[in-house]
Structures are given as structure tokens and as C-alpha cells.
Structure 1
Amino acid sequence: MIAVSPKTIVLRWALVAGAFAGLLAVMAGAFGAHGLRHIVSERGLEVFQTAVSYQMYHALALVVASMMPALRLNHRLLTMACGFWLAGIFLFSGSLYLLVLTGAHWLGPVTPMGGVCLMIGWALLAAAALKR
């Protein structure tokens, strides 16, 4: 049997969040492909697909990161990376979904903040790997 450390258990939230975000990305992708095709513009569909793609990429990153304590990476930095990815999914993909579905253009400035969160998450992952 594999011993489970407290650090592994703490990152279990990242696995759950990643799995849930992946599920929602598949559902959103299907909705975009089938439910929005005749409702929004071609550009709107492209924006929606961008949101779905980034959500799925970062859902997978959360799932993989949840397993990284086995590599003995810096736990604090790894946990922070996951937090930034989750925030980035909400801000980046969430604002694009709402922008396409509601036309609320005031959400435009939120999207880059989400992108910055996603980038910070990747930088923190690199830092965790370097600071073993």
C-alpha cells in the first residue's frame, strides 16, 4: 500500500477541482458546439471555444499538479499554483462565457486578470520545481 502524506491529502482539492473543471469544460464545449451555433456570431463561438480550451488545459494542470507531491516539489508553491489556476479559470474562462452569453462588455477587463492568474500559476509551478 502507498503511504499518503498530509501534503498529498491537502492537494486532493486540486484533483477534485480539476476533475470538476474538466467536466464543465466538456459540457460547455458541447453546449457551444450544439446550443450556441445558431444563437451567437461566429466570433462569439470562437471566443466561447477559447474559454473552453483554456479551462480544459488548466483543469488538466490541476489534476497533474495534485499528483506532484510524489515528486517532492515545494508544497507551498505547488498549492499556490493550483490556487492561481483555479482563480484564472473562473476569471478568464468565466468572463468569456458571460461575455458571449450575456453581451456584458464590462467584463472585458476581467479576462486579462484571469490570464495573469493562469500565467502566475505556471510561474509558481516552475518555482516549485526549481526549489526542491
Structure 2
Amino acid sequence: MVRITKDMIMNPSRFAVGSYAFGALSALVSAALAALTTHGLAGLAPAGDQAVEWFKIATSFQMNHALGLIVVTAIAERLDAGQARTLMRAAAVLLGAGALLFPAALYSLSFGGPVFLAPYGGIAAMAGWALFGVAVLVTLKPKTTE
């Protein structure tokens, strides 16, 4: 059973505080833009109904990866300093980059702006999840059999 102690919650690292704050802000922006999508975006954006579709994709992606950033950071905080923790933190950074860059490109596209950041955001998100998987494997220790 995993025990969460007061120190784990009350004494987060500076990395964790920054990651939690960025994740929360990203989730807030996603929720606000999802509300805008539902309440009149088609009339505001030059792309009209297509903008609504792009915003739906972007807000979903942003929320999922903001929450992923928070969860991966929480897991990283539970690990002792070392390779696995470093990999988890790198995964969190990449998820944060993905949560920012890919949706930003779709929001920009909806208003006729550039979209060149989309591939970088998508690659960052995929790399973040891949690195998370590697970090999980690094933390696994085979059970000894008797």
C-alpha cells in the first residue's frame, strides 16, 4: 500500500510547485476556451464553424495534457532522486510543452494565424508520454522469488 505523508504534500519541490501551477493554469485556460467554444466562437472567429471544431480538439488536448502534467509531477515527487525521477520530470516538462504548443497552434489557426508550432507540440506530447513509460519501466524492480 502506498502511504502519502504530510511531508509529500506540504513540502513539494520548486519543480513540483511550478509544474502544478502551470498545469492548473493550462487547465483553467482550456476550460475557459471550451466555454467560449460553446457560447459564440463561431461568430467571432474568421474560420466560423471550422474554428469550433479546432477549438474542441485543442481544448480537449490541452486539458488532457495539463492533467497528465500534474499526475506525472505527483509521481515524480514520490520517487527518490535518481534516474527515474529525472526521467519523470523530463516527461512532465515535455507534457507541459505539448499542452502549450499544440493547442496554441489550433487556437491561432482559428483566427487566421500561423500553425507552425503544432508539430512541435504534438511531438513534445508524444515524447512526454514515451518518456513517462520509460521512467515507469526504470522504477520497476523484479520481485525476488524464493
Mark yes or no: TM-score above 0.5: yes
Amino acid at match of 1:86: G
The CA RMSD over aligned residues, in Å, is: 2.1
Quick check: 2:16–2:77 contact (8 Å CA) kept in 1? no
Q: Does the residue aligned with 1:131 lie in a helix, a strand or coil? A: helix
1:65 to 58, 66, 72: 72
Displacement over 6 Å in runs of 4+ = none
CA distance in 2, matches of 1:115, 1:70: 25
1:29 to 17, 34, 37: 34
Q: Specify the alignment match of 1:113 in structure 2.
A: 120
Q: Specify the alignment match of 1:82 in structure 2.
A: 92
Q: CA deviation at 1:88?
A: 1.2
Q: Is 1:2 aligned with 2:6?
A: yes
Q: CA deviation at 1:66?
A: 2.1
Percent of counterpart pairs with the same letter? 30
1:12 to 17, 21, 25: 17
Q: CA deviation at 1:82?
A: 1.2
User: How many residues get paired?
Assistant: 128
Larger RCO (CA within 8 A; separation ≥ 6): 1
Q: Deviations over 1:28-77 (max 9, x none)?
A: 11112113132342222101111100000011101111210355371111
Indicate the structure with greater helix content: 1
CA distance in 2, matches of 1:15, 1:39: 32
CA distance in 2, matches of 1:50, 1:83: 21
Q: CA deviation at 1:8?
A: 4.3
Q: Deviations over 1:54-107 (max 9, x none)?
A: 000011101111210355371111111111111112210011111112x02xx2
CA distance in 1, matches of 2:77, 2:65: 20
CA distance in 1, matches of 2:71, 2:99: 16
Q: Specify the alignment match of 1:93 in structure 2.
A: 103
Q: Does the residue aligned with 1:109 lie in a helix, a strand or coil? A: coil
Quick check: 1:12–1:66 contact (8 Å CA) kept in 2? no
Largest Rg, 1 or 2: 2
